[in-house]
Structure 1
């Protein structure tokens, strides 16, 4: 069976978008097919797959990691998803998108899209490691789990081809690990290893977790905007007075076609 696809990215965190309004693709979207689509040599190439499903009460974003596993949420992905709905399905902003982590509201200001990612859940201290190095980390949930570690140099995390070590009792289903350095006042940079995808050029939920952890470390007042630099660009994140995390960044559609992968 062949079916249409689009390719998009948010700060170079890239995705295959599969329009599936009538759920005709769902039965074929097993982990093997997701891995084939995301393969960067024999497939289209992506960090994950966004399946666009129309329901009676709106659109649902079915997100799959590059390894075929299901994820609760994807911050860069939901901006790409909103860009697709606006440009190809005629949906207007503000836009409500259903996810496995509840409904997210998207707004736009020119090329920049803002996603209300909801309330963060700040949990306890934990630890992550790469090789013989280990760091204290903050456990933050943005619908999916994150471990945020402040380091002296982003190079200390190595290549991140392998998942950083973590406590399986704290993260039984794996974890996204962010390594963070300070660049200035309310300005940080990060690298990330995403569970199910490896090191990626950006992670939207990770940037949100980093902003929350940094605001707590700084004792910053709510409403403070943090600039988070990722290898693929820049995101801006605000933890609001009413306990919402707002993430702003670009989203682009760069290709479309038909595939039988």
Structure 2
């Protein structure tokens, strides 16, 4: 099978993009194929795959023409990706499929997301977060209280003394499966200053990644709640791959702002 592909990243959270505008190239987008593409030894290598497909081609109800069909690195389906949707929007504008001077509506399994582009800063309205209860997470012999925050994906946010306390994160940290029956992204967070935090993340289906957009949003929400911060409140979130900013607006919506890049492209002859 021969098909076009691109590689992009948002604060080093990297993705393979598969243009498949009418859904005729990749069919149901097989999970094993996605996992093979994402393999960093035997494939292109990425934290996930985004198929660039028209909403109508998938039968998705969306106000946007384009749908981000996102899969984790293990081939499992994911609701949303805050870094990915910025890369997705950049690709649309670079290919002339969307106008960068106006807001771009992109369909996702986490609902429609509106993206605005201002030079190198790409902002996404991530919608209204859900602030739920607390549970426990454990890693490297430590256990912490974790805040249950939903920002398109489920997150367990744990404040720690040092980011290294979470260990290597080569394996999935322990979490309460009754709270997160479909898995969870787990963020380990330290305070760096006023409205400034740093984080590491273990993403379900991908392992530790260099950044997580929905995770950064969840971390900002957890910090703002702990700070009893007045809105609008903007938090700087440092991730291993760079920095993003999250604004919790007075209308309760979260806006994630950060960079995105397309770094490679080509046509592949895939040998199954």
- TM-score over 0.5 (shorter chain): yes
Matched residue pairs, number?
261
Structure 1 match to 2:162 = 153
**Partner deviation per Cα, 1:55-105 (whole Å, 9 max, x = no partner):** 345100000000000000000000000000010133113100000011100
8 Å CA contact 2:17, 2:51 repeated in 1: yes
TM-score, structure 1 length as denominator?
Answer: 0.98
Q: Which residue of 1 aligns with 2:71?
A: 64
Deviation at 1:29, TM superposition (A): 2.0
Larger mean CA deviation between 1-10 and 125-134 belongs to 125-134
> Quick one: distance in 2 between partners of 1:158 and 1:105?
36
Q: 1:144 aligned to 2:163?
A: no
8 A contact 2:74–2:206 mirrored in 1: yes
Pick one of 127, 130, 136 that aligns with 1:127: 136
What is the deviation of 1:22?
Answer: 1.2
Q: TM-score, normalised by structure 2?
A: 0.94
- Picking from 168, 173, 177, the partner of 1:164 is 173
Q: 1:218 aligns to what?
A: 227
How far the C-alpha of 1:54 sits from its partner, in A, is 1.4
Give deviations 1:127-179, integer Å, cap 9, x for gaps.
10013210001000011100000000000000101111000100011100000
- Distance, in Å, in 1 between the alignment partners of 2:269 and 2:182 is 31
How many Å separate the matches in 2 of 1:43 and 1:185? Answer: 42
Aligned residue in 2 for 1:42: 42
Work out the CA distance in 1 between the residues paired with 2:3 and 2:43: 14
CA contact (8 A) 2:161 2:190 kept: yes
Within the candidate set 68, 81, 84, 1:77 is matched to: 84
Unaligned runs of 5+ in 2: 57-63
Query: Which of structure 1's runs of 4+ aligned residues deviate more than 2 A?
Result: none
* CA deviation after TM superposition for structure 1 residue 28, in Å: 5.9
Distance in 1 separating the partners of 2:27 and 2:90: 25
What stretches of structure 1 of length at least 5 have no aligned partner? none
Match of 2:207 in 1: 198
Aligned counterparts of 1:260 and 1:43: Cα–Cα separation in 2:
12
Q: Choose 17-26 or 184-193, whichever is displaced more.
A: 17-26
